[in-house]
A and B are shown apart, each in its own frame.
Chain A
Amino acid sequence: MATETEEIRGIGHSVRRKEDDRFVRGRGNYVDDVQLPGMLHMAILRSPYAHAKLNSIDASAAQAMPGVVAVVTGDLMAQHNLAWMPTLSGDTQAVLVTDKVRFQGQEVAAVIADDPYVAKDALEKIEVDYEPLGVVVTPQAAAADGAPLIRDEKDDQSDNHIYHWESGDKDATDRAFADADRVVTLDTFYPRSHPSPLETCGCVADVDPATGQATIYMTSQAPHAIRTVFALVAGLPEENIRIISPDLGGGFGNKVPVYPGYVVATAASLLLGKPVKWIEDRTENLISTGFARDFHMHGELALKDDGTMLGLRTSLLADEGAFHADAQPSKFKVGLFHIVTGSYDMPAAHVEADGYYTNKAPGGVAYRCSFRVTEASFLIERLVQNAAYELGMDPADIRKKNFIDKDQFPYESVTGFVYDSGDYHGAMDLALEKIDYAGLREEQKRERADGKLWGIGLASFTEVVGAGPHKDYDIIGIKMNDGAELRIHPTGKAILKISSITQGQGHETTFAQIVSEELGIQPEDIKVMHGDTDNTPYGLGTYASRSTPVSGAATAMVARRVGEKARKIAAHLLEVSEEDVEFHRPNYTVKGAPDRAVTIQDVAFAAYTNFPDGMEAGLEGNYYYDPPNLTFPFGTYAVAVEVDPETGEWQVKRMVAVDDCGVRINPMIVEGQIHGGLTEGYGIAAMQQITFDEDGNCIGSNFLDYLLPTAVETPRFELGETVTPSPHHPIGAKGVGESATVGSPAAYVNAVVDALQPLGVKNIDMPLTSATVWEAIQAAQGGS
């Protein structure tokens, strides 16, 4: 039966989100909303010292308080072999301290009580005897002779050095530099910041003593991987562990690592036979969970006088905190930083990096960085901007001169990436046109004559996402292939189960749209399940913009697999051979006789009621996708600013962002992702940092010190797009979640530096507060 076909709202439609129905009613189900009968509340006592021996803990007064059920210390955890746990980087991390504390905020003990207020009261009654030790708060200090040894408990660790890593060809690069007319150098520090999703981390751990089943509601971007880690660490059988990541109030990479709180809460639930809830407060989130950046970068760009790039050298110092707990593919110690040649046809490059322990919280690879691509993008785009000034070239022209050309793709970079597709000139031209670049340069000249400081900053980023091919990509040995399961019900509706988990990106809608595109079932008829390890296929989770490239691909492929069987059933219903069946969504028609048709819904019903002999019933499938390559979203951002030289304040006058993420599944959602990323980039450029004093006290452990932009400061954005599909992705999509956070900080900083060109300012490290800008102006002018 043919039906009047309404348009199938698949790829390219701005379908309104299905998940919104519960969120706008205040009926989201976040971890702190979970309440179970008999549930207890856990609070963690944290170290006030950055580095100190633990002499003793006396919890007797806390234990005696009414309402306190238990106090857990490192000793108790050690009895169950749980005082230490593995990190996602193959190191170990203390769950509760046994020997010494290694960063301010480190977990010391945990109180379990029947009321969260009582739990906090009890924390104050725990007496801890610390013996402070020397503190190290920079990688330079960590590397110095005689620096205090932080990881003295590791047999193979005699200093604070963790890794040395290189990429590229050092000899070829040295030769390139020897031939250069000009070498432009930049030393810049990408300050420590924090992803700070609005919902903090936490869990409700419910270990049922009768069945041995452990159900853990957890703020996790990677529930399957965490479940496996729990199984290995806790010795709990993996099939008895169920991790449910319900609604997440943002993630941005902060919710990938395993935190001690999860482990302690689970152990407590196991020991007490009751559910235990642990929700950290904001201070705990900022002071102890996965931070971002804290990355010292030295870059050198070798050029000819006509602006041709010859080579790039970078050397990097990574501040890893007290435990090496980066969430990144194991083969790469500084993530995918070696994308640092960016959008340019670079003949030679060499990257070297060293990571150090310091007395700070663990982490470093987070906050929408695409595995340190934001650091790389920042470095190259700042170098290129400065190179333009030194050569007297326009910053747009020097970029265009060196861009990889459209016809050079697939492009093999000298650091081993194969860029799938790109049209860098196209994105750049569109951005320049939208912002009226030529007009702005004229305006800048006029304003400068009036003593006003106008600047235009560009950033042409190429980033790399979608980890990744099984040959090179794994995290603690687990390959980064994600799965999708699809079942079509008899009534023609469907359920799709995916291994990635949304934190606001709209997967419940966009992934349904992928299936809609393939099979002609409308998105509202497709339920998308995610986040529950009992009910979804295995995968490494959502971060580094990998959902669309990997899970999205798995979804398209499983839909095609199901589509193959659907076609067979359609042929059976139409009583023709398979070759004579055509699919014009949602109808299967007969070649040459278009009035003979059945819908996908007819086929679905038939899959259970009228299927050919020898065929299994049902219409479903699963697929694990091994990406053949990563994907390479790109774009050009252009920012116009005005700087007040008297105060150092800067205002964004216009911000144009042209993004190319290949095929856009839901344009409305893609734009929302870009808005969000441009705002984070602005916050990073303008106001965000976490610093430490020489005693290791964390300054930036609450929202009074760690600043998030409000709607008042945040610029207005003008978006544009080009579409250059990925040739190897089943639907040509590349992923976009992090592009704007990756690419925009350099654009903002370049704009301010551009404005200050006449005053001789060459570099200002982020955050560019009014004070920092003013100091830079004073310094460039000789401190007058």
Chain B
Amino acid sequence: MARIGVFICHCGENISATVDVKKVAAAASRIPGVAHSVEYKYMCSDPGQQMIKNAVREKNLTGVVVAACSPRMHEPTFRRACAEAGLNPFLCEMANIREHCSWVHEKSDATTNKAIDIVRTLVAKVKKNKALLPIKVPVTKTALVLGGGIAGIQASLDIANAGHKVILVEKQPSIGGHMSQLSETFPTLDCSQCILTPRMVEVAQHPNITLHSYSELESLDGFIGNFKARIRKKARSLDEKLCTGCGLCTQKCPTRKIASEFDAGLGLRPAIYVPFPQAVPNKPVIDREHCTYYLKGKCRLCEKICPTQAIRFDQEDEILEVEVGAVVLATGFDIKHGDFFPEYGYGKYKDVIDGLQFERLASASGPTLGEMRRPSDGRVPETVVFVACAGSRDPAKGIEYCSKICCMYTAKHAMLYKHKVHHGRPYVFYMDIRAGGKMYEEFVRRAQEVDGVQYIRGRVSRIYERGGKLVVKGADTLLGARPMEIEADMVVLATAGVANAGAEELAQKVHVSYDPYYFYSEAHPKLRPVETNTAGIFLAGACQAPKDIPESVAQASGAAAKVAGLFSQSELVREPLIAVVDRQAPPLYSTCVGCFLCQAACPYQAIEKEEIRGRDGRLIKTVAKVNPGLCQGCGTCVALCRSKSIDIQGFSHEQVYAEVLALLNRGESDV
């Protein structure tokens, strides 16, 4: 038998000025099942809350309706009060008669009647409420960070320094990412490796961080606090415990003319190689696609000369299984290579290069040891043209967005060139200059005013070779779209920043959503930039969208804070307003027929298959099951289910049905 307590608040005069609260209390007392109905000036105050607690205890109330402000305001307040009085907090509802009634209507009978309607609706609802307990999910306090670039490194260090274990997985043989390929960084012109390598070493030496380089994620199962990851450690063909990193093998390897990935194709490396001198770990890897032993069964020179006999030609990939509580995606980005603009001749002319290739030319440890020499003949280029927006902001080419960093690195490139070639002539063809960060605008001005970089507002239509020079045809739109031609020795294209190869596959493995460009989606574009819609999986760095180093670092620390917050309790406590699939007595077991329409619709992959088996192990039926750790309580599955086999606590079939009927039927007994 229901014994509902109704508490009408005056809210000072906010409600009582337009609603006759005494009348509402009187009408509420006549609703069948209401055992107590009072009004008071300030229900949320201490005395107000005490009134509720006293009534709960004295009148043995089975449910409470507080008719006052919006539940978005004070639902937690009154639920806490009920809990303190011994009534399950989920048996308390609020009737919004302030924001939705007293504040928006004039004083009249209609307003008071509407308040009565609202109270009657919530009384009908609360009669169908069930006592609920918060859901507790255990948490494994180890984080998995995928990607060892600057974002992954920062996130790993932050989480490790917070006292938690980190497993860092990096696809390449060394961590460092694209930042390790840069020569200097804007806007300070800091040497990139100088600021990065200490962090890389810190990661390698940190007692809380386990680094798996030359490894990839094979699969990810489970849910927040309870993931099971399988990691594929690709075979380096090396016993890492024996290898001392002496480098003798890389010096003696006879196969030496392989295009170096680290040098963006401008330099060469041997078949057994360390990607760059400051690599972490500083151990070589054998490139099985080019090594003579794997191709022809011959050579084995590295094996012979290795002082510790560390080479293992028959080594195989290893699969590791780990349990983690959170995952940080920091897999970074790439820039567009290839003949995206055939009219620019990239790939056709050796001296038309992209931004990363320029970084390698400028880098002191690059293929030209930092001297500005063009790829085709090694001559010093006297005139260099930089083309901004080479692919970004171009709906016709399929990349509509701005790649954010190119205006800045183009200015940087032009400056670096001028610093190295004092008499050089740098030109930049641009559409707009986007220099919104701290000290960024000043940096671009410096390029123009101090280093004499010539900025031309216009696009380049064609680049072709003529008499040993690269003719760049563009237009100067600030001079009325005057067509112009520059004879350049080298051209640098600021190609679009794009998602890394394999981004889609990885997103599907871990079940995060992504946009049409395969950048990973954040949970909310404004307020939740480091979380994804998949609970327990966080984002850091350029895998979410092109961004510069300070932003990548900031986002990585943000993701780390979320992970540390998640790990700060031994159990994850969640509100139990989630969906649940029904159970019935045998032989039915559940009215669910296993059509799994719900599973397809759930945005959180919270619905699983559950096999119901008889005592003999025979499969009776497969039904849906909601994972209480993942369900966020939207109720889409509930509305889709044809047989009404799935219901949601807090907004159940019975509750909303009762609300609709009560709202429209005055003075009739409740169903």
A interacts with B = no
B binding-site residues for A, Cβ under 8 Å: none
A contacts, CB < 8 Å to B: none
